[in-house]
Structure 1
Amino acid sequence: MEEKRTRIIEKDLKLGKIELQVDNLDDLWQLYNIIEPEDLVFAQTFRRIRQKKEMLRPDSGEKVKMYLGILVKGVEFHAFSNRLRVRGLIKKGPMDLITLDSHHTINIEINSRFLIKKEKWSKFHLIRLEDAVAESEAQQILIAVIDEREVTIGLVTSIGIKIITHFQENIPGKRFKITYHEQSLQKFYQEISTVLVENNKMYNVQAIIVAGPGFAKEHFSRYLREKVPEIEVPISIENASNASKSGIYEVIKRGATSKILGKLRLFQESDLIDEVLRRLGKNQNDITYGFNEIKNLAQTNAIDKLLLTDVFLREQSIEMRKEIDEVIRNVEKNKGKIHIISTLHPAGEQLNSLSGIAALLRFPISQN
């Protein structure tokens, strides 16, 4: 199976420019945490061009494809439509078709090619970019948790979990006519299969996991193997206590799927947060969290691993980001490792509750 990765087309840090091509959903999330207000983004985009007589109608005019550069004012991540919306003011484009400083939104989607220009690329931005280049779309898995009437389907990627759908089917009990029960069950299975086939093609997944309570998971897995030849990836069966979103998290958390999922960054990050919580529970002073505490330690060789959430980095002021960048550089100078944790899964949310930044230490320190 061919790997799809973020591609760096051109890189010139002296001029602050990096040109990229987006190849998967994880890339969009990484870019959401890289592109910031006051950056310049250049890309092919569509803009509606109206004649003077059409000015009063916002939906009038012809959509024209053009290459624009915008000064970023905001970025929105739309996971369900697989796109990043970058809003800003036009700073470059065909002068006969555009007005400088007018508003425009560039949609960055899978297979998009674009250029980002920053005044200065921070260390943590470059780390995110390296992560995006290193990660492969081949590490994506569909999980369907199912019982007799309910199903939830999620996509597990390198950085998190995307819930694709959840629905219920009104299936009559076996006390009704058997044919009626079986017809309803077959309809339920067909609806689930359609979602799995579509997403299997869209995301090029490595495997499908079917889980849930009771025997529904075995029955549906057999249906997939016998009735849905479009799905050729391996199908495995696991236990889960329910068919809701929490059932998907349960399958992942239990680690029963480690043979399939063990290489995903998502699980490496979960292990790191488990280690943070374990050390906190032991109270042996070999763990600390909070920016001020970590800032002081960063100048020593005490920090083995520095953990920061994407939300913590994204929500800081420009001045604070400069301080964070200095901390990261100091930790790396002292041979420490940096891990930017995604908040698209529960481990990242746990770290966020601990201020969004923590450090695993090489040795215990006295903490006042």
Structure 2
Amino acid sequence: MKLISQEFEKDKSGKITLVAQDKDDLWTLYNLISKDDEITLRTQRNIKKKSTNSAASATTIRKTIKLTLNVESNEFLPSDESMRIKGRTTEQNDDVPLGSYHTAEIQFDEKFTLHKDNWDEQYLKLVSDSCSIEAKAELGAVVLEEGVAHVCLITDSMTVLRAKVEKSIPRKRRGDSSGHDKAMDKFLSMCVDSCLRHLNVDHLKAILIVSPGFTAKLLLDKIMARAVTDGNKTLLQSKSKFVIAGSSTGYLQGLEEALKSPELKKQLSDTKFQQHVALFDEFTKYLNDDEGKAWYGEAEVEKAVMELQGAVKVLMITDTLFKTDDIQKRKHFIELGDKVKEDGGEVVIFSSLHDSGEQLNQLTGIAVILNYPVPNLDESDDEDD
């Protein structure tokens, strides 16, 4: 989501102008926009124009107009490319009367303004999270060549340049490369500083380093050397997240070039989802041991989450369930996830496009690893009675 502007009053009323960029943004807006909010957006309408000649019939033209609606309801399916808003106009213009009933759509890359009488913390957090590239990005990338580097974040819909590093590198002289080597070492140190500043290794699932020749390998070695020097255990333990790839240039087109490689796509996928593979292996082990620490199925998971406070170590759910077209089910799964986080557990969403996600889908798509064994979780209360 792109934040264009915001304006708030002391009583927490105010308006925000936004642009939706993907389906996750539309889902956020579905949860953000409430009854009696006021929304201003552009839409198309068939407008009747009376002819100046009274004998002639009125003509109908298709026109883009700006509507301000008092929201009565909103509709959204994750399979849709837009979200429908229903309400009555609160401002009169030449084309539509005041108080008339309309349905309009929020579409990708079209700005709109939302007014609320009370922007509480939850609403503001929804906007903040959806507008944060850092929160949405799963991949980091550094594309470089001698003397220039670009540090990027990659989301499902865009690549965002976070920093550019430049340093003049003298050419190697015959019999003396000390000037080149010293400048190159300084340049790589600057790249490491920029990476640590702009790439959250904990949050990102993979970090791609792309370059012509061996420059990418030199940068990775420098990053790991810095981790040893600083005693940065988190960075050292994240070495497997780094993926090296070749390109013909150290500019952004080199990143696009590398990302088109089928081999790199497979390697990135395995790296990105390695936590999922390890978790599913742990889950399978507990399941085979039959100790009562691993359970799957909606009823069993709901019982563990809602009735056994703090029992859930990890809630595993596939994106097939988490992004279902059934809005009520989707809200239910989100509530389960929020409860697990509130009780100190972790929520991991598995991709159905990866092997581990497919395996979880075969086991109902939802499962938990518990902090301690709970036998007979699959027995109903009636059976207990």
What TM-score comes out, normalization by structure 2 length? 0.49
Alignment of 1:143-292 (within 5 A): 157-158=154-155, 224-225=248-249, 231=252, 243=262, 247=263, 249-255=265-271, 267=272, 270-282=273-285, 283-284=288-289, 285-292=292-299
1:131 deviates by: 4.6
The SS at the match of 2:28 is coil
Structure 2, unmatched stretches of 5+, are 52-56, 142-152, 160-206, 212-245, 379-385
1:151 corresponds in structure 2 to none
Query: Which residue identity is paired with 2:83?
Result: V
Question: Higher Cα Rg: structure 1 or 2?
Answer: 2
Q: Which string of whole-angstrom CA distances, capped at 9 and with x for unpartnered residues, describes residues 108-147 of structure 1?
A: 327x3543879999x9x998766534543776679xxxxx
The SS at the match of 1:109 is coil
1:365 corresponds in structure 2 to 374
2:114 corresponds in structure 1 to 115
The SS at the match of 2:96 is coil
2:315 corresponds in structure 1 to 306
1:293 deviates by: 0.6
Alignment of 1:4-153 (within 5 A): 9=6, 19=16, 21-22=18-19, 25=21, 28-36=22-30, 39=34, 42-48=39-45, 50-52=47-49, 60-68=61-69, 71-75=73-77, 84-96=81-93, 97-98=95-96, 100-109=100-109, 112-115=111-114, 131-136=129-134
- 235 and 302 in structure 1: CA distance in 2 versus 1, 3 angstrom threshold: same
Q: Which string of whole-angstrom CA distances, capped at 9 and with x for unpartnered residues, describes residues 211-237 of structure 1?
A: xxxxxxxxxx66x43xxx974766896
Measured in 2, the distance between the counterparts of 1:130 and 1:305 equals 26
- Length, aligned pairs only: 267
Q: Which structure's relative contact order is higher, taking Cα pairs within 8 Å and 6+ residues apart?
A: 1
Instruction: Check conservation: 1:309, 1:340, Cα contact below 8 A.
Output: yes
1:294 corresponds in structure 2 to 301
Query: Which residue identity is paired with 2:64?
Result: K
What TM-score comes out, normalization by structure 1 length? 0.51
Measured in 2, the distance between the counterparts of 1:10 and 1:345 equals 43
Measured in 1, the distance between the counterparts of 2:127 and 2:45 equals 32
The SS at the match of 1:253 is helix
Instruction: Check conservation: 2:137, 2:155, Cα contact below 8 A.
Output: no
Instruction: Check conservation: 1:6, 1:132, Cα contact below 8 A.
Output: no
Instruction: Check conservation: 1:45, 1:107, Cα contact below 8 A.
Output: no
Percent of aligned pairs with the same residue?
17
Instruction: Check conservation: 2:44, 2:62, Cα contact below 8 A.
Output: no
- 325 and 231 in structure 1: CA distance in 2 versus 1, 3 angstrom threshold: closer
Instruction: Check conservation: 2:137, 2:154, Cα contact below 8 A.
Output: no
The SS at the match of 1:102 is strand
Measured in 1, the distance between the counterparts of 2:339 and 2:87 equals 38
Query: Which residue identity is paired with 1:31?
Result: D
Measured in 1, the distance between the counterparts of 2:253 and 2:210 equals 13
**What's the RMSD between the two structures over aligned residues?**
5.4
Structure 1, unmatched stretches of 5+, are 79-83, 143-155, 163-205, 211-220, 256-266
Q: Does 1:338 align with 2:347?
A: yes
2:237 corresponds in structure 1 to none
Which stretch shows the higher mean deviation, 316-325 or 356-365?
316-325
Measured in 2, the distance between the counterparts of 1:34 and 1:361 equals 30
The SS at the match of 2:282 is helix
